[in-house]
């Protein structure tokens, strides 16, 4: 499906303010194309870590701190960190473990990390997770969830009945005050929450809860007044926040965490960071893209392909040899994930194309041989290709007749609201569901797929007419000058980029000098000449299906939308144009 090229509208007031506050014209244009109605531009774009919202306004934060402080101070109590299997969950588990052992002095044998198995157990605090937990631990025991639990009342009630109090830390959408059987539900998305920023990641909620526990332990005299701050744990919060695609255009907290976390990682000799750079082949500092495209993908891949707990083992390792071994393991898992995802996406795209051509408002693809650990990425690829909400379904491992699904969406369609509408309209259709604005997950009987698809389409249409939706490529207009390393440095100063503060893209005219398929044959290496006669290097990822004819040819004049990136090879650093969209103009 052909993509629609759009130029970002610019908020002139924000642009003027940015110029007044010292940003360059290029930087001001980029900022004003992403945020609107902001007076303190510098405070949003480059917030100080001290500007992080304190935990006090989070619902149930005091109760959670007391319950967990009691557990820390009781020498017989096992404290379980029960976290999701994705990167946000793994970093939440890492913050929990490091805080308990390194900062609060809890002996390692009393701290247990557990994560659900994506394929066998699915999302959340499932029945099988509860069974594993009850088999593994003995009373007294306290559970602290991370990045999950808000919608798991029946299982939390089961743990409560077994004598195990549960503190929920989460950021996903939730009805009311969360599970009534939980000792506390710390979630900024609660309906009664007065915590201003509803857009923080699950790992940041965990960090704030650990800060509250530290304060409670100091108040009780269990820690000295001079006890170290937990601020170094923002390095792990940075990774989970980057991975979970939370807003970077509306949340000052998220930007502060990532900026400060990157600084902590780049100034630290922690074994995981050294190992990650080694397997990436990165000789320079971490940037946001190194996290989102490599480190976060590595951590996520373990949970997609197998048991996620190795991700936490990697992230908290103090031993360089162990960190190096686990980094290689996670990298290999990520390479396996890429192969599986590539095959799944190829099949899914053919199915989705038929639906898109028929004008369905939302695409639902059932892959009978699909891998449930990867279908979320496939759903994202389909959103990019067809510009409408997507649900990708695969069999649930070990449960014949059941399927699990991952959902991704477009601007104007809120995933969790759509799922809530489906659940109201078709009671019993969904066996389990959850999510937030941009993504979600579900479980249902295979026999209900058609029923779900129809209800999901109706729910989407209540939010936005997507029957004629197309994929959209956004541009910041012409760069207006040659792409150089100075331009890259100017743009890098606005990091981090991500959801709702996307990396800048520019549109300019070029003549094609050479075209060469690379990688698996879907990518194109380009040599281009700009309008000033200056040669430029280009790469167009996923430009075509392997074996098909390239969309551009030597000698043609094209209009290309691209990002500028630095590429170091054999000690020399070049500027690459990473093409996202191109059309022939002559």
CATH number of the domain residue 533 falls in: 2.40.50.460
pLDDT digits (tens, 9 = 90+) for 26-43: 999 999 999 999 889 999
- Residue of 305, 304, 290 whose CA lies nearest to 239: 290
Q: What is the mean pLDDT of residues 375-395?
A: 91
Same domain, 449 and 487: no
Note the pLDDT of residue 71.
98
Same domain, 229 and 147: yes
CATH number of the domain residue 385 falls in: 3.10.310.30
User: Which position has the higher pLDDT, 419 or 119?
Assistant: 419
In a domain, 28, yes or no: no
Q: Which residues contact 257 (CB under 8 A, 6 or more apart)?
A: 49, 52, 204, 234, 237, 238, 241
Q: Residue 548's pLDDT band (boundaries 50, 70, 90)?
A: confident
In a domain, 40, yes or no: no
* Whether the predicted pLDDT of 331 surpasses 70: yes
Q: What does the DSSP 8-state code read for residue 55?
A: G
Are 274 and 225 in contact, with CB atoms under 8 Å apart? Answer: no
How many CB atoms within 10 Å of residue 128?
15
Are 187 and 169 in contact, with CB atoms under 8 Å apart? Answer: yes
Same domain, 457 and 490: no
Q: Residue 274's pLDDT band (boundaries 50, 70, 90)?
A: very high
In a domain, 36, yes or no: no
Spatial separation of the C-alpha atoms in residues 187 and 193, rounded to whole Å: 8
Same domain, 488 and 425: no
Same domain, 382 and 310: no
**Total tally of structural domains belonging to the chain:** 3
pLDDT digits (tens, 9 = 90+) for 128-173: 899 999 999 999 999 999 999 998 999 999 999 999 999 999 998 8
Note the pLDDT of residue 470.
87
Spatial separation of the C-alpha atoms in residues 230 and 310, rounded to whole Å: 23
Final residue of a structural domain among 424, 443, 463: 463
In a domain, 575, yes or no: yes
In a domain, 346, yes or no: no
Q: What is the mean pLDDT of residues 60-89?
A: 96
Same domain, 182 and 285: yes
pLDDT digits (tens, 9 = 90+) for 475-507: 999 999 999 999 999 999 999 998 899 999 999
Final residue of a structural domain among 398, 431, 463: 463
Spatial separation of the C-alpha atoms in residues 270 and 327, rounded to whole Å: 13
Same domain, 200 and 128: yes
pLDDT digits (tens, 9 = 90+) for 101-134: 999 999 999 999 999 876 676 778 888 899 999 9
Note the pLDDT of residue 424.
94
Q: What is the mean pLDDT of residues 74-90?
A: 94
Beta strands, E only, 288-372 = 363-366
Same domain, 253 and 279: yes
Same domain, 382 and 289: no
Same domain, 108 and 253: yes
Note the pLDDT of residue 119.
65
CATH number of the domain residue 260 falls in: 3.90.1640.30
Q: Residue 199's pLDDT band (boundaries 50, 70, 90)?
A: very high
Same domain, 206 and 275: yes
Are 319 and 271 in contact, with CB atoms under 8 Å apart? Answer: yes
Spatial separation of the C-alpha atoms in residues 213 and 284, rounded to whole Å: 36
Please tell me whether the peptide bond between 140 and the residue prior to it is cis, using omega within 30 degrees of 0: yes
- Residue of 141, 150, 228 whose CA lies nearest to 189: 150
Backbone angles phi, psi at 394, to 5 degrees: -140, 160
Strands 557-569 and 572-584, how do they pair? Answer: antiparallel
Average predicted confidence (pLDDT) for the chain: 92
Note the pLDDT of residue 95.
98
CA dist 1 → 260, 325, 392, 561 (Å): 40, 42, 19, 17
Strands 439-445 and 402-408, how do they pair? Answer: antiparallel
480 lies in which domain range? 4-8+473-584
Percent of the chain predicted with pLDDT > 70: 98
Spatial separation of the C-alpha atoms in residues 435 and 456, rounded to whole Å: 15
Same domain, 437 and 483: no
* Whether the predicted pLDDT of 52 surpasses 80: yes
In a domain, 207, yes or no: yes
Final residue of a structural domain among 414, 445, 463: 463
Note the pLDDT of residue 256.
95
In a domain, 44, yes or no: no
Spatial separation of the C-alpha atoms in residues 141 and 113, rounded to whole Å: 13
In a domain, 340, yes or no: no
Note the pLDDT of residue 44.
93
Q: Residue 277's pLDDT band (boundaries 50, 70, 90)?
A: very high
User: In angstroms, how far is CA 240 from the centroid of its own chain?
Assistant: 7
Query: Which residue, chain included where needed, has tokens 């004008």?
Result: 359
* Whether the predicted pLDDT of 472 surpasses 70: yes
Strand partners, 402: 445
């Amino acid at each position: 499906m052909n993509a629609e090229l759009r130029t970002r509208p610019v908020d002139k007031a924000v642009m003027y303010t940015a110029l007044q506050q010292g940003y360059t014209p290029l930087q001001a244009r980029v900022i004003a194309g992403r945020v609107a109605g902001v007076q303190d531009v510098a405070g949003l774009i480059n917030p100080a870590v001290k500007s992080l919202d304190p935990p006090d306004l989070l619902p149930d934060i005091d109760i959670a701190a007391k319950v967990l402080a009691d557990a820390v101070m009781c020498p017989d109590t096992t404290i379980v960190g029960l976290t999701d299997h994705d990167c946000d969950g793994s970093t939440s588990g890492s913050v929990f473990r490091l805080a308990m052992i390194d900062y609060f002095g809890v002996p390692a044998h009393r701290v247990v990390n557990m994560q659900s198995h994506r394929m066998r157990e699915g999302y959340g605090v499932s029945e099988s997770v509860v069974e594993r937990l009850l088999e593994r631990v003995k009373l007294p025991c306290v559970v602290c969830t991370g990045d999950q639990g808000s919608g798991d009342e029946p299982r939390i009630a089961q743990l409560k009945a077994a004598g195990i109090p549960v503190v929920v830390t989460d950021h996903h959408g939730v009805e009311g005050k969360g599970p009534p059987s939980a000792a506390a539900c710390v979630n900024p998305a609660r309906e009664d929450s007065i915590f201003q920023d509803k857009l923080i990641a699950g790992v940041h909620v965990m960090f704030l809860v650990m800060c509250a526990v530290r304060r409670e332990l100091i108040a009780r005299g269990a820690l000295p007044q001079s006890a170290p701050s937990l601020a170094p744990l923002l390095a792990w919060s940075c990774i989970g926040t980057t991975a979970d695609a939370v807003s970077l255009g509306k949340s000052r907290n998220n930007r502060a965490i990532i900026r400060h976390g990157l600084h902590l990682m780049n100034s630290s000799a922690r074994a995981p960071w050294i190992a990650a750079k080694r397997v990436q082949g990165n000789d320079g500092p971490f940037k946001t893209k190194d996290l989102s495209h490599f480190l976060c993908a590595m951590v996520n891949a373990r949970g997609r392909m197998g048991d996620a707990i190795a991700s936490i083992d990697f992230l908290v390792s103090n031993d360089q040899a162990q960190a190096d071994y686990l980094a290689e393991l996670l990298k290999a898992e990520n390479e396996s994930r890429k192969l599986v995802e590539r095959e799944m996406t190829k099949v899914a795209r053919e199915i989705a194309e038929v639906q898109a051509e028929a004008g369905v408002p939302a695409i639902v693809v059932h892959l009978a041989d699909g891998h449930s650990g990867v279908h979320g990425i496939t759903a994202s690829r389909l959103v990019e290709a067809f510009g409408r909400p997507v649900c990708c379904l695969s069999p649930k491992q070990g449960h014949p007749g059941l399927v699990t699904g991952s959902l991704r969406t477009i601007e104007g369609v809120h995933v969790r609201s759509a799922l809530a509408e489906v659940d109201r309209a078709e009671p019993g259709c969904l066996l389990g569901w959850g999510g937030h604005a941009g993504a979600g997950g579900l479980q249902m009987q295979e026999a209900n797929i058609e029923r779900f698809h129809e209800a999901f389409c109706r729910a989407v249409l209540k939010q936005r007419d997507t029957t004629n939706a197309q994929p959209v490529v956004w541009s910041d207009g012409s760069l207006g000058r040659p792409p150089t390393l100075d331009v890259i440095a100017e743009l890098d100063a606005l990091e981090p980029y991500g959801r709702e503060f996307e990396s800048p893209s520019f549109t300019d005219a070029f003549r094609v000098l050479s075209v060469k398929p690379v990688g698996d044959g879907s990518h194109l290496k380009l040599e281009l000449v700009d309008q000033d006669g200056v040669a430029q290097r280009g790469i167009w990822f996923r430009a075509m299906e392997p074996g098909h004819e390239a969309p551009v040819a030597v000698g043609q004049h094209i209009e290309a939308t691209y990002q500028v990136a630095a590429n170091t090879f054999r000690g020399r650093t070049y500027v690459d144009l990473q093409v996202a969209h191109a059309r022939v103009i002559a």
